[in-house]
Amino acid sequence: MTTDDTEGSEIPLSAKESLDLIDRQQAEMDRDFSGFVVTLNAMWAVLWFVAFAAFHVAGNGWPGSWYSYGVAAVIMGVAILAGVVVSTVLGVRSGRGRRGPSMVSGALYGWTWTVSYAALVAINLSIMGRGLPDDAVPSLWIGSMMLLAGALSMAGGAMFRDIGQYVLGIWLLLVGIACVLVGVDYQALAIAFGGLVGFGMRAVFARRGLRVAA
């Protein structure tokens, strides 16, 4: 064997070194994913609050109506659309380097939210078209949205063995019940603070876990 051949060859890793390398790469991907969870939930905590607080300010509860519901709908639409776009981009980035069934499950779970909420909108609009009383419309939307968000979060927590996400789902269900009970004038405000607290705490605990892993 010539000197050039020796310099161009790589020394194979031992079994222990190979396992250590795999563990380091897996730990790095886990930290990246934890960072994704922190960023995603912190973002949704803010957007959720802005979207529903905008509707409260358009209503009759304190401090009174500042603008029309049309303006509130535009604010909510922009906030939700921005959240979906950013979530998609972050999801694609966090999935780099991941392969196999877990990647497929994550993609299918993400589409489950989109398809489920599209069906929810279609169902609610159909119900409203049959002459639902005006004072029942906010309860219909808020109650059904929170029910679906809570159920999907719990399903994701169970599927991915994520206790934090499962607890978030339970919290969203409780917030949905509370929002229906407080009355029309303060439903949007209740859901705004409920989402802020729920997603915010999810981000805080994910951040703590990230620090421990580091």
pTM over the 0.85 mark: no
Name the residue range of residue 148's domain.
Answer: 18-213
Q: How many domains does the chain have?
A: 1
Determine, yes or no, domain membership for 3: no
Sequence letter at residue 108? L
Question: Could you give the CA distance from residue 6 to residue 21 in angstroms, rounded to a whole number?
Answer: 24
Question: Measuring CA to CA, which residue among 78, 77, 53, 79 is closest to residue 67?
Answer: 53
Q: Rounded mean pLDDT of the chain?
A: 78
Residues 6+ apart with CB under 8 A from 154: 165, 166, 169, 170, 173
Question: Could you give the CA distance from residue 51 to residue 58 in angstroms, rounded to a whole number?
Answer: 11
Determine, yes or no, domain membership for 72: yes
- Quick one: pLDDT at residue 110? 75
Determine, yes or no, domain membership for 86: yes
- Quick one: pLDDT at residue 6? 46
Determine, yes or no, domain membership for 91: yes
- Quick one: pLDDT at residue 14? 66
Ranges in the chain, pLDDT < 70: 1-35, 91-103, 209-214
DSSP state of 130: T
Element (H, E) at 63: none
The separation between the first and the last C-alpha atoms of the chain, rounded to the nearest angstrom, is 44
Q: Please state the separation of Cα 149 from the chain's center in Å.
A: 9
Determine, yes or no, domain membership for 7: no
Determine, yes or no, domain membership for 9: no
Determine, yes or no, domain membership for 12: no
Helix (H, G, I), strand (E, B) or coil at 144: helix
Determine, yes or no, domain membership for 34: yes
